[in-house]
A = this chain, B = another copy of it.
Amino acid sequence: MPEAPSTLAEPAQGLGPALAAAGALARSEIAAAIGAPEEAVGAAMLYATEGGKGLRAFLVVESAGLFGIAPARAARPAAAIECIHAYSLVHDDLPCMDDDDLRRGQPTVHRRWDEATAVLAGDALQALAFGLLARSDCPPQAVVALTLSLAEAAGLPGMVGGQALDIAAETAAAPLSLAQVEALQARKTGALLTWSAAAGARMAGADPAPLLAYGAALGRAFQIADDLLDVEGDAAEVGKAVGKDAAAGKATFVSLLGVAGARIRAAELVETACDALSCYGDRAEALRAAARFTIARRT
């Protein structure tokens, strides 16, 4: 059994190309599905899926690899989760939500086009995600399992519910407790990352439990890193506005644990994530690297 990584400082060397490759694989599926867009909405859909880290696609491809499923066969589930992620960013950036002008260093969709196009592009990306899943190269019962779990991860029990809690927290009388922030983030950010990590097992009809445990810990580490970037990051490097949480008086892992405490918690979660993969042995090394990457990343 490989050792769990022991330091936060361990660089995420070598992961960059693998993330980029998974992201490109997903985007090529998305581009093929959209075709040559005649309408602004189609162009906005493609635009919204560009420039991401490709982390969710990578998790799908790597978890599929644990079960002998080649990257090409995992391309559509990988594309599906990138569509959901992209749509959520487009809608979250809207003036009535987070009101952001900048995303991944580029104008947000409603700034580049207009609000109606942003609403519709997000809506169509969500539909496309389920269409891509339905055309996945795996048995029908695996497609159904992927679809049901994605609907829950993306919907009210998951991402949308978490975003709603996050908006409600902004106008709440008191800041959220640590338990409340954890519950909120498990839905808002964690649900999609967990789905991605478990996708390979679901494609293969295998038990997703170890990957669900890995994904849950990775998701929590990822969000702590996000909160740290909001405090310590540089807007130009991060590709979006920073310092927004503190300005809004929002409870975050950093406001609740302090910078040092948040770093320690993130490191513990990365160890938990890596430990959850022990049953897969060395084959899961790339997923362990991804867990370390979530807290070493600069964007």
- In contact, B34 and A156 (Cβ under 8 angstroms): yes
Residue A263, interface by CB 8 Å:
no
Q: Is the Cβ of A123 less than 8 Å from the Cβ of B126?
A: yes
Contact A123 B160 (CB under 8 A): yes
Distance from A19 Cβ to chain B, minimum over Cβ atoms (Å): 26
Chain B residues positioned under 8 Å from A70 (CB to CB): none
Q: Within 8 Å CB of A163, what residues of B?
A: 120
Number of interface residues of A (CB under 8 A): 50
Q: Is A208 positioned at the interface, with any CB of B under 8 Å from its CB? A: no
Decide if A119 touches B94 in the complex (CB within 8 Å). Answer: yes
Contact check: which of B91, B124, B167 meets A161 at CB < 8 Å?
B124
A35-43, A232-240, A291-299: which lies at the B interface? A35-43
Chain A 213-256 interface 0/1 with B at a Cβ cutoff of 8 Å (1 = within):
00000000000000000000000000000000000000000000
Set of chain B residues within 8 Å of A94, measured between Cβ atoms: 119
Given contacts A41-B156, A127-B126, A161-B124, contact A133 B147 (CB under 8 A): yes
CA distance A165 to B39 in the complex (A): 8
Most buried by B among A144, A154, A165: A144
A164 and B87 CA atoms in complex are apart in Å by: 16
Let me know if A161 and B41 touch, CB within 8 A.
Answer: yes
Q: Shortest distance in angstroms between A161's beta carbon and chain B's nearest beta carbon? A: 6
- Known contacts A91-B119, A144-B143: A161-B39 contact under CB 8 Å: yes
Number of copies: 2
- The smallest C-beta distance from A28 to any residue of chain B, in angstroms, reads 17
Smallest Cβ distance from A49 to chain B, in angstroms?
Answer: 13
Given contacts A39-B161, A131-B155, A151-B128, A119 and B141 within 8 Å (CB-CB)? no
A140 contacts B by Cβ under 8 Å: yes
Top 10 nearest A-B pairs (CB, nearest first) are: A131-B151, A127-B155, A96-B115, A140-B140, A134-B148, A124-B160, A134-B147, A124-B156, A41-B164, A140-B141
Given contacts A39-B161, A123-B123, 18 further A-B contacts (CB under 8 A): A40-B164, A41-B156, A41-B161, A42-B161, A119-B119, A124-B156, A127-B151, A127-B152, A127-B155, A130-B130, A131-B147, A131-B151, A131-B152, A134-B144, A134-B148, A140-B141, A140-B143, A140-B144
* Chain A residues within 8 Å of B, Cβ to Cβ: 34, 37, 39-42, 45, 87, 91, 94, 96-97, 114-117, 119-120, 122-124, 126-131, 133-135, 139-141, 143-144, 147-148, 150-152, 154-156, 160-161, 163-165, 167-168
